Every structure is written in C-alpha cells, then in structure tokens.
Amino acid sequence: MKKQLVILLSVISISGISMGQNHIKLSLAEWSLHRAIQSGKITNLDFPRIARTQYGIGVVEYVSILFDGKTSVTDSVYLKKLKNECLKYNVISNLIMVDGEGNLGDTCFEKRNQAVENHYKWVKAASFLGCYSIRVNAAGDGSPEVVQKAVIDGLTKLCDYASKFNINVIVENHWGNSSNPDWLIPAIKAVHRSNCGVLPDFGNFDKINRYEAVEKMMPFARGVSAKSYDFDENGNETKIDYPKMLKIVSKSGYNGYLGIEYEGERLTEDQGIKATIKLIQRSLK
C-alpha cells in the first residue's frame, strides 16, 4: 500500500516536528472547519487554500459529508478542481473520512454488501486525489460478537476492492463497539489485509481509559486524529492530557500524520485550530 512520505511542506516548522527518532507531521482534518463549511461561508474547494495560507499546514484530511453536494465525489470536473487547488497551494491529500454510506457491520448480508459498494466511489475519489486512505466506521446493530463477525466480512470485501487502487481502509474509534480496542483490534487482525488498519482518535471514548486504548491501537495505526474540545487558561486541553497522549504516539514508533481535529464550540474554529497547534508544539518540546 502507499506509504506516507516524510515531506516537509509547511511554511512554518510545525509540519515536521521531530520527537525522538520519530518524525510526526501535522495535517488538518476538515471537520475542524465544519461549521464554516456547513454554514456556507467556505466550501470544500477552499479547504486546501485555508490549510496552507492560514495555518501553514500542507496536508489535508477531507470529510465526505462536507463535499459540495452528493454528486461531487463522482464528478470528474469537480475532483479536478479540488486536485488543482491542492497543486496550486502545494498541499497533499492524506485521506477521506467517509460517513453516511451504510454500516460495514450491518448484520443483514444485503445491506452490508450495499454499504461496501457505497464506499467504492470514495475509494476512487481518494485514489484520484492522491490520498493514502479512506476512514470508515465499524458500525452495526446486534451483539458485539455478531457485529464483529459482520464487520470482518464488510472490511475484508472493501479492503480487497481498495487494494486495486492502492488505498488503505482504516477504522476510527467512532463510539459503540469501535471505541473498545479489545473488540476492534481482533477484527482488524481477522481481516488480515495489508491495507487494513485503524485511525486512533484521542477523543472518542466512553467509560474506557483513552490512553490505554490508544496505546493498544497504535501498532495498527495508519493515521492519528488529534481531537480537541476546549482549553484552559494555560492552553491545555481540558479533557485530554496531550503530553501524555503524544508520548504514547511517539513511543509506538508512528511516523505518519497527526490530524488536527478541533471540535469545540466555545472558541471559534480558527482559535481552536491555532490553540491545538500551539499545544502540540509545546507538548513536543
């Protein structure tokens, strides 16, 4: 599968911060700007320019539901425009976070297969844009054991299709069973495909120790989501111990992208993104 290149594209130093022998590089998750996009202030086509010019970040992570309409993902003219924006601002497309395409762990065989096929267009778009991966969800209704079996089937089929396009399929801990690494990791192992992995998110855990969970997920990580919600007067994240979390990421040997994903409401999106960048800089010193 495609390997992430250690390319320092940013006009500021944060795109390539060395941490021991690792080289963690920052990317910007589009969800950090979802309020601005959903309100119509900006569009998906503006995302590469904003990442580069406002934050000095040269790697982006798209969100499927923030594309410009349902047909934009299959519109070659639109995708060419988006790719040209990336070229214009010297920006790499890292991944697409895919939502709303059905459950890969649906216990109904027909619905599960339809969900798999619904992801095909995103695999093709990711390949065209030069992405390494698509992020998917391991959701489904039923007992953990039954859903896990269904997820293994759904992921295996999607990975086999995505391998034709040299695209990784990575699962985020996105609540439910997927936020339990003791459920998710065995499923990833059972899929047993070189293009199957996970996307640990610092924030999506409920009644599970987030630090222990991320540590278990890191050996299978093809991306990391640096979630943030709010900050105290000292600039520390109020729910997540960033120095502790980044130490876990570093210790794992991970050298891919760290995707900034501000999700708070008290600060503006611009303030939240900048606060997250500043905290990461300080935490990695």
What one-character-per-residue DSSP string does 155-192 give?
Answer: HHHHHHHHHTTT-EEEEE--SGGGG-HHHHHHHHHHH-
Q: What are the tens digits of pLDDT across the range 22-34?
A: 567 999 999 999 9
Nearest alpha-carbon partner for 13 in 5, 22, 28, 24: 24
C-alpha distances (whole Å) from 34 to each of 40, 44, 126, 274, 278 are 10, 10, 20, 16, 21
Provide the pLDDT for residue 153.
Answer: 98
Q: How many CB atoms are located within 10 Å of the residue 83 CB?
A: 16
Sign of the Cα pseudo-torsion (157, 161, 164, 168, in order): negative
Residue 13 has pLDDT above 90, yes or no: no
Looking at the DSSP bridge assignments, the partners of residue 174 are none
Residue 130 has pLDDT above 90, yes or no: yes
- End-to-end Cα separation, the chain, in angstroms: 32
Answer yes or no: are the C-beta atoms of 67 and 90 closer than 8 Å.
no
Residue 75 has pLDDT above 60, yes or no: yes
Confidence of residue 284 (pLDDT cuts 50, 70, 90): confident
* Mean pLDDT in residue range 226-255: 96
Provide the pLDDT for residue 47.
Answer: 98
Alpha-carbon span 221 to 171, nearest angstrom = 9
* Mean pLDDT in residue range 56-69: 98
Residue 126 has pLDDT above 50, yes or no: yes
Q: Is 56 left (phi over 0), alpha (psi -120 to 50) or beta?
A: left
Q: What are phi and psi of 166, to 5 degrees?
A: 60, 40
Provide the pLDDT for residue 11.
Answer: 33
* Mean pLDDT in residue range 33-43: 98
Alpha-carbon span 32 to 40, nearest angstrom = 15
Provide the pLDDT for residue 2.
Answer: 45
Q: Buried (b) or exposed (e) across 148-180, using 16+ Cβ within 10 A?
A: bbbbbbbbbbbbebbbebebbbbbbbbebbbbb
Provide the pLDDT for residue 285.
Answer: 77
Largest CA distance in the chain: 52
Confidence of residue 17 (pLDDT cuts 50, 70, 90): very low
SS3 category, 40:
coil
Residue type at 268? T
Answer yes or no: are the C-beta atoms of 2 and 168 closer than 8 Å.
yes
Answer yes or no: are the C-beta atoms of 173 and 205 closer than 8 Å.
yes
Tokens representing 243 are: 């120095």
Q: Quick one: fold of 13-283?
A: TIM Barrel (3.20.20)
Give 147 or 21, the one with higher predicted confidence. Answer: 147
Question: For 148, how many CA atoms within 13 A lie in the half-sphere containing its CB?
Answer: 17
Q: What are the tens digits of pLDDT across the range 86-122?
A: 999 999 999 999 999 999 999 999 999 999 999 999 9
